[in-house]
Amino acid sequence: MSARDARDVALETIQRELTAVARRARATAAQMHPELSLVAYTILAHIEEQQGCRATDLAAHYLLDKSTVSRQVAALERLGLIERRVDPSDHRVQVLHLARHGNEILATARASRRETFEARLRDWDREDLTRFAADLVRYNVDAASHP
């Protein structure tokens, strides 16, 4: 097999397997946590990681329309998982923070999610994992610059 062919085969495989990843993420999303969709989980995690953020930030980061984010955020607020605090220095802006219940829910969801991945990746040794993680990061960086 020529180098050209090997490259083509790998490209084809990567396409197919990444599609499978996306499909699985969708199918698994619902049963993550009874109270938390995958989008909701992602938003909570982002807010925690950023120590508070604006709805516009979420929209930009997740390639979503601001109206979509607005509704997701409203739902999370209704559930008492997040709070909005109007930015005192700019009253157009609402900074989102985790509410206490949001912290709790996020912690349990994260734990259960982690268990899932632990189970899936149990047979991988440390080098395999770090290499795979690095490759995924690299792929996402490249994908972001070649949309």
In this structure, are residues 106 and 79 in contact, taking their beta carbons and an 8 Å threshold?
no
Judged by DSSP in three states, 63 sits in coil
Burial 45-70 (b: 16+ CB within 10 A, else e): eebbeeeebbbebbbeeeebeeeebb
x-marked contacts with its own copies along 1-30 as a string, rule CB under 8 A: --x--xx-xxxxxxx-xxxxxxxxxxxx--
Q: Which of 100, 98, 103, 72 is nearest to 84 (CA)?
A: 98
The one segment of 1-9, 12-20, 59-67, 118-126 that binds DNA by CB under 7 A: 59-67
Q: Which does 111 bind (CB under 5 to 8 A by kind): its own copies, DNA, none?
A: none
CB of residue 140 to its own copies, shortest distance in Å: 5
State the Cα torsion 71-75-77-81 to the nearest 10°. Answer: -130
CB of residue 36 to its own copies, shortest distance in Å: 14
Residue number, 73 or 81, with CB nearest to DNA: 73
Binding residues for its own copies, rule: CB under 8 A, are: 3, 6-7, 9-15, 17-28, 38, 42, 62-63, 113-114, 116-121, 123-124, 126, 128-133, 135-140, 142-144, 146-147
